[in-house]
């Protein structure tokens, strides 16, 4: 991280944002399949636009899911229930184009290279190969209770609060679409103050701009942002164009996987590139990122470092990762080399082991498709990768 004073900005989006709506439909389909067929293979992409939901992908499963009906129910659950919004779950068209997983990919996932070369027993943990090549990033920092960067944490809380006051009818003129953004000023690598807040909220055409700004500040911003982090220099922008009536898929096409920085750490650290939503746990884009977060969070929770980034790299059809890289940005109480050794010793990054250790074959993904996949201690139960149950073992193994 830079030294001296610097600014870090992160954004979030409400569940009614078109991209997040697409993510929720993809993960809703995944959850429905895992409910009946935990071994199902799913790679599901969704596009939403004016009057249309289009779902495409590769799905291999033994169960039947009424995808159009499920998609419509998710659209309505998010809040698109009236045609006057320009998009609603009852009148939108739902088009599906689904095929099975490629047999060339399936053979590498079903029997990893290690098994095929050594003729190991298929019950070995090495049996599942990575569903794709690529690198995954996990990160944690002691800036917040969630062990997440504070800019993305505040942005998510603002977005969740925006949805809450809409659904609770505290601000009944709000509509489902919305985005938030928070800029935090750091000094000597510590968050000192909120420099800027941006809230864009879709609304009924009759509401006055002043009323909307005053009430969003009172019921959303003032509730979420710690007062000690706000001062007279903090800039607040609420619907800065002056009007946000046309929103949702009517105004902007939404696609699965177009908000990957919102899903993770909000621009604070690099991203491996792959999205999560709509992918079953054999896809290491998702599973590897969850395990890397789990490991990084336990490193920070153990007190071995104030910050920890973990990068894991895979080859398609190979169970064991090609590389595991650890960076504590100079905050480690032991060397990065030692922490790397501890991570390899205490966390198994082979796909079958990650699926087992994080219990990833159960339906749990749609709630993660909005407001972030990491730091979700607001969920009950919290995701397995948010546990800090290995922190004590790491501390003991390091002799700390």
Rounded CA-CA distance 217/214 in Å is 5
Q: What is the pLDDT of residues 349-367, one digit of tens each?
A: 999 999 999 999 999 999 9
Q: What is the mean pLDDT of the chain?
A: 94
Rg over CA atoms, the chain: 22
Q: What is the pLDDT of residues 207-251, one digit of tens each?
A: 999 999 999 999 999 999 999 999 999 999 999 999 999 999 999
CA torsion sign for 355, 357, 359, 360 is: negative
Q: What number of CA atoms fall less than 13 Å from residue 36's CA on the CB side?
A: 11
Q: Specify whether the CB–CB gap between 358 and 287 falls below 8 A.
A: yes
pLDDT at 55: 98
Q: Which segments within the chain are labelled E, that is strand?
A: 5-13, 41-49, 52-60, 93-99, 134-141, 174-187, 190-203, 235-238, 254-255, 307-314, 323-327
Mean pLDDT of 247-262: 96
Identify which of 351, 217, 215 has the alpha carbon closest to the alpha carbon of residue 279: 351
Residue 332 DSSP code:
-
Q: What is the pLDDT of residues 269-295, one digit of tens each?
A: 999 999 999 999 999 999 999 999 999
For the chain, first and last CA: distance in Å? 25
pLDDT at 108: 57
Q: What is the pLDDT of residues 314-323, one digit of tens each?
A: 999 899 999 9
Rounded CA-CA distance 159/161 in Å is 5
Residue 148 DSSP code:
S
User: pLDDT-derived band of residue 185, with 50, 70 and 90 as boundaries?
Assistant: very high
Q: What is the pLDDT of residues 23-78, one digit of tens each?
A: 999 999 999 999 999 999 999 999 999 999 999 999 999 999 999 999 999 999 99
Rounded CA-CA distance 196/42 in Å is 40
Q: Which helix (H) or strand (E) covers residue 114, if one does?
A: helix 113-118
Find out whether the peptide bond into 381 is cis, omega within 30 degrees of 0. yes
Rounded CA-CA distance 383/377 in Å is 8
CA torsion sign for 80, 86, 90, 95 is: negative
Here the tokens at position 238 are 């609420």
More confident residue, 131 or 163: 163
pLDDT at 347: 98
The whole-model pTM stands at 0.95
pLDDT at 86: 81
Distances (CA, A) of 285 to 82, 174, 257, 308, 313: 36, 35, 11, 19, 10
Buried b / exposed e along 96-108 (16+ C-beta atoms within 10 A): eeeeebeeebbeb
Q: Which is it for strands 190-203 and 235-238: parallel, antiparallel or unpaired?
A: parallel
Q: Is 264 exposed, middle or buried (0-12, 13-18, 19+ CB in 10 A)?
A: buried
DSSP string, 190-201: EEEEEEEEEEEE
User: pLDDT-derived band of residue 301, with 50, 70 and 90 as boundaries?
Assistant: very high
DSSP string, 202-262: EE-TTS-HHHHHHHHIIIIIHHHS-GGG--TT-EEEESTTS---S-GGGTS-EETTS-HHH
pLDDT at 125: 74
pLDDT at 116: 62
CA torsion sign for 150, 155, 160, 165 is: positive
Here the tokens at position 230 are 């706000």
Q: What is the pLDDT of residues 118-128, one digit of tens each?
A: 655 544 677 78
Mean pLDDT of 167-187: 97
Distances (CA, A) of 139 to 12, 127, 214, 264, 310: 18, 28, 36, 9, 6
pLDDT at 283: 94
Share of the chain above pLDDT 90, in %: 88
Q: Specify whether the CB–CB gap between 71 and 94 falls below 8 A.
A: yes
Rounded CA-CA distance 397/115 in Å is 31
Q: Which is it for strands 93-99 and 52-60: parallel, antiparallel or unpaired?
A: parallel
């Amino acid at each position: 991280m830079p030294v001296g004073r610097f600014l870090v900005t992160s954004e979030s989006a409400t569940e009614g944002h078109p991209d997040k709506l697409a993510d929720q439909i993809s993960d809703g389909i995944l959850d429905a399949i895992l409910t009946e067929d935990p071994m199902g293979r799913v790679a599901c992409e969704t596009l939403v636009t004016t009057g249309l939901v289009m779902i495409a992908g590769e799905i291999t499963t033994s169960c039947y899911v009424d995808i159009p009906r499920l998609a419509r129910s998710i659209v309505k659950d998010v809040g698109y229930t009236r045609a006057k919004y320009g998009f609603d779950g009852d009148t939108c068209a739902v088009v599906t184009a689904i095929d099975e997983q490629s047999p060339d990919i399936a053979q590498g996932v079903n029997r990893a290279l290690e098994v095929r070369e050594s003729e190991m027993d298929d019950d070995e943990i090495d049996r599942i190969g990575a569903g794709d090549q690529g690198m995954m990033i996990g990160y944690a920092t002691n800036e917040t209770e969630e062990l997440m960067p504070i800019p993305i944490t505040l942005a998510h809380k603002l977005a969740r609060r925006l949805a809450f006051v809409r659904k609770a009818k505290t601000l009944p003129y709000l509509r489902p679409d919305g985005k938030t953004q928070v800029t935090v000023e750091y000094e000597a690598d510590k968050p000192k103050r909120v420099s800027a807040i941006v809230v864009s909220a879709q609304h009924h055409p009759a509401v006055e701009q002043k009323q909307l700004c005053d009430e969003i500040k009172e019921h959303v911003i003032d509730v979420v942002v710690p007062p000690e982090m706000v001062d007279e220099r903090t800039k607040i922008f609420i619907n800065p164009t002056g009007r946000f009536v046309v929103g949702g898929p009517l105004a902007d096409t939404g696609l699965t996987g177009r908000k990957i920085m919102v899903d993770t750490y909000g621009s604070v650290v690099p991203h491996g590139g792959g999205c999560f939503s709509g992918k079953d746990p054999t896809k290491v884009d998702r599973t590897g990122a969850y395990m890397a977060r789990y490991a990084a969070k336990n490193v920070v929770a153990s007190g071995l470092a104030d910050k920890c980034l973990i990068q894991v790299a895979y080859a398609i059809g190979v169970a064991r990762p090609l590389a595991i890289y650890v960076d504590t940005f100079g905050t480690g109480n032991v060397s990065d080399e030692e922490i790397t050794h501890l991570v390899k010793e205490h966390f198994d990054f082979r796909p079958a082991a990650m699926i087992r250790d994080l219990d990833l074959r159960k339906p749990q993904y749609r709630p993660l498709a909005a407001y972030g996949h990491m730091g979700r201690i607001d969920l009950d139960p919290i995701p397995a990768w948010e546990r800090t149950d290995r922190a004590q073992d790491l501390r003991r193994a390091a002799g700390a």
